[in-house]
Structure 1
Amino acid sequence: MNRLLSRLNIDPYLLMLLSTVGIASIVPARGIWAGIAGGVADAAIALLFFLHGAKLSREAILDGARAWKLHLTVACLTFVIFPLLGLGIRAIPGLEPSLATGVLFLTLLPSTVQSSIAFTAIAGGNVAAAVCSASFSNLAGIFVTPVLTALFITGEAQGFSTDPIVSISLQLLLPFVAGHLLRPWIGGFVQRHKTLLGYTDRGSILLVVYTAFGAAVLEGLWQKVTLGELALIAVLSLALLAAIMVIGNLMGRLLGFSHEDRIVILFCGSKKSLATGVPLAGVLFPAAQVGAIILPLMFFHQIQLMVCAVLARRLAAQSEAERSGAEVSE
């Protein structure tokens, strides 16, 4: 089964996400169980950010600061160009309001870490720069995404509020900082047990998705969203990814980056993090709205993985062909 999914470029985790959505749609958490499930999900997310804090080394932060031009370009794509595209998409008439908000919200999120680095490595890009750029993007997203959300979404009707930033700081940033400060004592354990971080990462997202979709289903999510709207989200996700990749490639060439650094811009600048986006949505939006808001993010997440997997292998094949041609000519 894993071989078949790999050949089809389908992430097995997507099937787990879809199964979780199905379970939440049929058996949503109600009453006291909803409160218990929400508390467990919050604890799992805090543990996730604690472990990520312990994983990030001080050296990575210092090394990443030196490649400021590259990181600034990726940040521009992530937190400026992407949101502008999101605002344009939200203005399209006929899109269900909560889903339109979800599309805009996904454009405000930071880049992924693991997949950005992995695809950069496969394509023959600057892996060290990708590690720093993706890490900085995620760290910045803890601050930047709540501010952008308040400016473009939640603040439109009620004015700017610092409450989301305070909630993010207590629920996500504080565990992250605590983990980083404890890195001298627990960093080795975390590095030796990377599987633990992976299970925590994926398990916490599944918990949040279950509680979010369960609350949304109880509020009538599937009566509000049609199959046509879901198909539209898929089309918009493809268009959004294509646009940001074209823009990123043009920026990389115009700014004179090397081929290896342009690969970093391509893969780090075009991603949006499901692992960061789901917890942030749970903090920034009412529970009944989270399910609909993260739905576009789930679509975009899988589409970006499939497209980037194909693109990374194609770039790797091109690089190998160029190296072989150079050796023959010599």
Structure 2
Amino acid sequence: MQLRGGGIGTAGATTNDNGETTNPTALSILAQQWCQFASKNFFLLGMFVAVGLARAFPLLGRSGGVLRAELFIGKFGVACIFLLSGLVIGAVRVEASSFQSQTQHIRLTDHLWPLASLVNMCVILTTAAGGSVATALWNAVISNLAGIFVTPILLLRFFGKYIQLPFIDMIVKLCSQVLLPVAAGQTLRHFGGKEIYKKNAKFFKRLQEVILLGIVWNAFCNTFAGSGLGLELRHALTLSILIPAMHLLSLGVLFRTFSLPIFKFTRREVVAAMFTASQKTLAFGLPLINTIFEGAPNVAAYCTPLMFVHPLQLILGSLCVPRLSKYVEEGDEEAKIVT
């Protein structure tokens, strides 16, 4: 039986081909609601599934196993993610008249918060709070690209004495597995790739999420097939307390910093700078970790804090949106009075 007439109406009824009205059962409505919830939260739920499968069947997805996950996910999958990133990055455009001021904002947020790389989430939160979307977009593009070069330098600076980091090999690997696919994505935009991406944006977004989940699955399979995660309960509890505290602190410090008169930022720009400088990307972070620490036994432990941060920064950022929206509106009212 095919359904028509707009599907489920206000009363939960459906109409079939004969014009007959039928009422769905409570179970079917619940199943529909669950499917909608799962679709909207596909990646978050997928992380739990990926880790659970890795724990139950660690030998299936480990590197060197039957499925050769390290090849199809660790190499081809990562290359595909950065290829798609090249297509997306090329889509961002800001009017030439605002280029100089936006470039200034990029320098400020990058210099004051150099350890933070950005994700589309910062643009979403900025938009919801009424901030400057142009500033958020510029920061997201430039900081993601800069992160490719800055990340290995920071790792060498802070952890070079404690972990093995062959710097030259790392740079070569990042160039071949990250920069080359990004450049290829940029090139493809001029040969029909732009239109293809626009027509299939939802598919490519879901493909990227599936690949990222594959990286998580492969990393945790390697861990559970070896000596385990290496993360004790007390450490996990510490992370669950420390990460939210650090994120809230960073939001507060950045907000106060960018509000200083010396920067001459509007309130909309303050909101954008605060969000873009505090967000840490999962879409870029996981592939970079997988590329830099390929073959390392503790790669899953390196991924764990980022997996904590991903849903956390969306929750905390969303809680800040109403207050920030009021802050922006008050600034608009003050500007009207002055003019």
CA distance in 2, matches of 1:234, 1:325: 40
Q: Percent identity?
A: 26
CA distance in 2, matches of 1:326, 1:171: 48
Partner of 2:147: 141
Q: Secondary structure at the match of 1:225?
A: coil
Letter in 2 for 1:78: W
Which has the larger Rg? 2
Helix, strand or coil at the partner of 1:75 = helix
Please say if residues 149 and 155 of structure 1, whose CA atoms lie closer than 8 Å, have aligned partners that are also in contact. Answer: no
Output the CA distance in 1 between the equivalents of 2:255 and 2:308: 23
Match status 1:16 vs 2:16? no
Q: Distance in 2 between matches of 1:226 and 1:33?
A: 27
Deviations 1:73-103 (A, max 9, x none): 2212431xxxxxxxxxxxxxxxxxxxxxxxx
Point out where structure 1 has 5 or more consecutive residues left out of the alignment. Answer: 80-107
Q: Which residue of 2 aligns with 1:82?
A: none
Q: How does 1:1-330 map to 2 (within 5 A)?
A: 11-28=41-58, 29-30=61-62, 32-33=64-65, 36-41=68-73, 42-57=75-90, 60=93, 63=96, 66=100, 67-79=102-114, 108=115, 110-112=117-119, 114-154=120-160, 156=162, 161-185=167-191, 186-222=193-229, 224-254=230-260, 255-285=263-293, 286-317=295-326, 319=328
With structure 2 as the length reference, what TM-score do the two structures score? 0.78
Is 1:121–1:127's contact at 8 Å kept on the other side of the alignment?
yes
C-alpha distance in 2 between matches for 1:34 and 1:62: 51
Distance 1:159 1:305, change over 3 A: closer
1:269 is paired with a residue whose SS is helix
Look up the equivalent residue of 2:157 and give its one-letter code: L
Q: Which has the higher helix share?
A: 1
* Matched-pair contact (CA < 8 Å) for 2:125–2:275: yes
- Of stretches 29-38 and 114-123 in structure 1, the one that deviates more from structure 2 is 29-38
The structural deviation recorded for 1:31 is 6.6
Q: Which amino acid aligns with 2:52?
A: G
Report the RMSD for the aligned CA atoms in angstroms.
3.1
Alignment CA distance shift 1:148-1:116 (3 Å): same
Post-superposition shift, 1:51? 1.6
| C-alpha contact 2:82 2:181 (8 A) present in aligned 1 | yes
Give, in angstroms, the shift of residue 323 of structure 1. Answer: 6.9
Task: Name the stretch that deviates more: 296-305 or 32-41.
Answer: 32-41
Q: Which has the higher contact order (CA 8 A, sep 6+)?
A: 1
Calculate the TM-score normalised by the size of structure 1.
0.80
Task: State the 1:220 CA deviation.
Answer: 2.0
Report the Cα distance in structure 2 between the residues aligned to 1:245 and 1:6, rounded to whole angstroms.
32
Does the C-alpha gap of structure 1 residues 319 and 172 become closer, same or farther in structure 2, counting only changes over 3 Å?
A: same
